[in-house]
Amino acid sequence: MSWLFGLNKGQSGPPPDLPIPSPPPPPAGGSSGGSGDKPKDKWSNFDPTGLERAAQAAKELDRSRHAKEALELARMQEQTVQLEHQSKMKEYEAAVEQLKGEQIRIQAEERRKTLTEETKQNQARAQYQDKLARQRYEDQLRQQQALNEENLRKQEESVQKQEAMRRATIEHEMELRHKNEMMRVEAEAKARGKVERENADIIREQIRLKAAEHRQTVLETIRTAGAVFGEGFQAFISDWDKVTATVAGLTLLAVGIYSARNATAVAGRYIEARLGKPSLVRETSRFTVIEAVKHPIKVQNIFRLSSKPQDALEGVVLSPKLEERVRDIAIATRNTRQNRGLYRNILMYGPPGTGKTLFAKKLAVHSGMDYAIMTGGDVAPMAREGVTAMHKVFDWANTSRRGLLLFVDEADAFLRKRATEKISEDLRATLNAFLYRTGEQSNKFMLVLASNQPEQFDWAINDRIDEIVNFALPGPDERERLVRLYFDRYVLEPATGGRQRLKLAQFDYGEKCSEIAQRVDGMSGREISKLGVAWQAAAYSSEDGVLTEAMIDARVDDAIRQHRQKMDWLHREGLESGAKVGVTLETLGKCGCGTYR
């Protein structure tokens, strides 16, 4: 009902269903004319027409049939207005809370930025202070080091000065002592000469008397010995039994000496054949009695290793195909020894340092046999003694109870073709003796030949070979295995053992070994093993004993450069040999000496 009291002025009038009241009559006499003399108060301007209209409207509303609906409608309008005001108030309050939250967030963000900036400043200040402290500490260390060096230098100079003074004092004392000694000797010599000059007659008389006495003594001794010998010889001659016994004793003594000498020579040759080592054998697993007495620990270790079964390829790195073949040979050799069969002779050829000698030793140990190593270069210098020495080697090999693996290294040095003119008669005779002793397969010894030039062998040597094995240069996988093997043996084990002066810097060892294996293409196993020894030597030669990655790369570069130089020399040698062969062919063609094949 706010429209009744002048509220809701925006509305044009009462509800349409209510009757419009008639305007009230104007007041009598006018409001302005009759009150001209009355005093004005706060109610003087009040217009009662509004109340009259309200009362009239209320009466009409009460008489209207829509009074309750209008009242309800007015009440609902008031409630709606109040709800709108409340919602606006809540929106305002929410906006206020949001503004407060935004202010709190902004303050927190500002505080966080402030703390972050303070933290950065504190860190920068701490770093700067730490830097200053380190600089001060380094300066103090440098000053202390310089002071220590200066003190050490002064001490060294002081010691040198003291040593020089002591040396000068000793030299001066020695010089004075020498002068005094010379003066004493000179004085003694002068005094002795003076005494001798004064007593020369007495001394000569004493010498003459001593000589006469000695002469008389010698003459008496000769007379006495002659008389005794003459009487004894006269008595010996007059007694024929004594003469006969003496002659018989001397004869028996001569016969005994001659027999003992011959028997000793025969026994010596027998002992040498059974127990001694031939002169051509450089290394062997068989030990003599003398070696057992001199080196009992070494002999015991050899016996222990030979009695323990070992893998034939332990420590030997080969390609898978070659490894399978040599393993079959090792198994066959072991079974042959256990069944007392006939051994097969083997030829191993290939570049130097590919594992031929190492495999021969491993083969002998794996098979339970003794091994002996001889080199072909030792045969030629023996000249006429070569035949006898060769027979001694095979006689000695036949005395082995366990079987002997005879490994001939550089066999092409004396087993070359007999038809060539470069071989001497003595070497040809030694080769014939070798062929005679190896004509048939034996159950006492096994022959293993190693050569870099097998094409130079005599045809009869090739006929005695049962197995031919090619030891080629290692491939990429074998090179990596070799690098890792020798890196562990010569670098890691000494560095971790703690017994030697070797330390290893921190880097990826596996990746470095793989890189080195790719770089050392064309190198043999021996060259790679020497590379491991070079790494160890580099660490030992350094001041702190630390092997760094740069030192390893430097040694690898040196090894690669040396390998290329060797290959260059080998290539030049091949070209020179080819040129000589070409000149020889041209000479034969010009002189008409026939067809060269």
Please, what are the averages of pLDDT over each run of 10 residues along the chain (597 residues)?
A: 44 46 48 46 68 79 74 85 91 91 92 92 91 90 90 90 90 90 88 80 83 87 83 75 79 84 68 68 74 53 51 78 89 90 92 86 86 88 88 90 90 83 82 90 91 88 91 90 89 75 83 91 90 89 85 92 89 69 47 38
Tokens 């309008």: give the residue: 77
Between CA 322 and CA 334, with CA 328 as vertex, the angle to 5 degrees is: 135
Task: Please give the C-alpha separations between residue 209 and each of 219, 222, 276, 338, 576, in angstroms, as whole numbers.
Answer: 16, 20, 65, 91, 90
Query: What pLDDT does 297 receive?
Result: 57
Count, residues in the chain: 597
Alpha helices in 447-548 (DSSP H): 459-463, 476-487, 493-497, 509-519, 525-541
Q: Which amino acid would we find at residue 596?
A: Y
> What values do phi and psi take at 375, rounded to 5?
-115, 145
pTM of the model: 0.50
Q: What angle do CA 248, 252, 253 make, to 5 degrees?
A: 115
Specify the 3-state DSSP secondary structure of 313: coil
- Does residue 545 come out as left (phi exceeding 0), alpha (psi in the -120 to 50 range) or beta? left
Return the pLDDT at 592. Answer: 43
Q: For residue 579, what pLDDT is reported?
A: 58
- Coil, strand, or helix at residue 231? helix
Report phi then psi at 220, rounded to 5: -65, -40
- Cα separations in angstroms, 69 against 60, 61, 80, 474: 14, 11, 16, 114
> What pLDDT is stored for residue 291 in this prediction?
55
Give dist(CA 102, CA 93) in Å, integer. Answer: 14
Phi, psi of 374 (to 5 degrees): -130, 155
CA 51 to chain centre: 119
As a whole number of angstroms, the distance between CA 345 and CA 334 comes to 14
CA separation for the pair 490, 473 (Å, rounded): 22
Query: Can you give the pLDDT at residue 16?
Result: 47
Q: Which residue has the tokens 């620990």?
A: 297
Cα 526 from Cα 59, distance rounded (Å): 133
Which segments within 228-329 are labelled E, that is strand? 283-284
C-beta separation of 438 from 390 below 8 A:
no
Cα separations in angstroms, 326 against 194, 320, 360, 371, 406: 95, 10, 10, 17, 17
Contact 304, 297 (CB under 8 A): no
Contact 393, 280 (CB under 8 A): yes
Q: H or E stretch including 375?
A: strand 370-375
pLDDT (0 to 100) of residue 48: 78
| Cα–Cα distance measured from residue 515 to residue 483, given in angstroms and rounded to the nearest whole number | 10
Asked if residue 421 lies in contact with residue 303, where contact means CB atoms within 8 angstroms, the answer is: no
Distance CA(99)–CA(103), nearest Å, equals: 6
